[in-house]
Chains A and B, each alone.
Chain A
Amino acid sequence: NAGVTQTPKFRVLKTGQSMTLLCAQDMNHEYMYWYRQDPGMGLRLIHYSVGEGTTAKGEVPDGYNVSRLKKQNFLLGLESAAPSQTSVYFCASSIGLGGAQYFGPGTRLTVT
């Protein structure tokens, strides 16, 4: 039981490049989330999903897109990376809407 895994662990992009971050969970959770964590700030919700085939915007969705084609996977895409998107990205999942979230190990992204 691996819990929540994220790929890749590190990535460096040039401004304007695109990439996709992959999150996978093996706990059969319905809800999945993408957060970003910046120094001195709390985790901020980018997008979330309440089930396979569904996605919704969180607090800071601009510049990101997501897809949930399979229940266990949640993808975060950056179509045209900007330096302001330099951050650590965390994926999380939960059984229900109000339950504790289980986080992945994070992806450190640098955009130059």
Chain B
Amino acid sequence: EDQVTQSPEALRLQEGESSSLNCSYTVSGLRGLFWYRQDPGKGPEFLFTLYSAGEEKEKERLKATLTKKESFLHITAPKPEDSATYLCAVQGPLGNNDMRFGAGTRLTVKP
């Protein structure tokens, strides 16, 4: 069965303290891996899509990487406004109709 596991569940960082979030997955026929950001009381907001092992995407202080079994979201010199829950989602062969979301990592960045 397809599974997506995110770790840690929660992460507290000081402003400027870099770290990484992990998303490990098992899926037959990965079509794409997605990262979303979710602020409290709001819907998920799209960040990145990765399609093949070795691919990397960057946006401001965030960098996503992909291997055959996991993805990392690296956060460099985070700021308090980066505080949010980060969701990983794995897309199987059927596309968005075949999507599995992880439970998320709740990131808190203290000033």
Distance A99 CA – B91 CA, assembled complex (angstroms): 10
Asked if residues B97 and A45 are in contact (CB atoms below 8 Å), the reply is yes
Give the interface residue-count category, chain A.
20 to 34
Residues of A with C-beta under 8 A to B43 = 4, 90, 92, 103-106
For chain B, which range describes its interface: under 10, 10 to 19, 20 to 34, or 35 or more residues?
20 to 34
Chief secondary structure at chain A's binding surface: loop
**How far is the CB of A23 from the nearest CB of chain B, in Å?**
11
Does B87 reach chain A (CB closer than 8 Å)? Answer: yes
Q: Which chain A residues lie closer than 8 Å to B89 at the CB level?
A: 42-43
The answer to whether B95 touches A98, judged by C-beta atoms less than 8 angstroms apart, is yes
| 5 tightest Cβ-Cβ pairs between the two chains A and B | A42-B101, A103-B43, A97-B95, A43-B101, A100-B46
23 example contacts (A-B, Cβ-Cβ < 8 A) are as follows: A41-B103, A42-B102, A43-B44, A43-B87, A43-B89, A44-B101, A45-B97, A90-B43, A97-B94, A97-B95, A97-B97, A98-B32, A99-B49, A100-B46, A100-B49, A101-B44, A101-B46, A102-B46, A103-B36, A103-B43, A104-B43, A105-B41, A106-B41
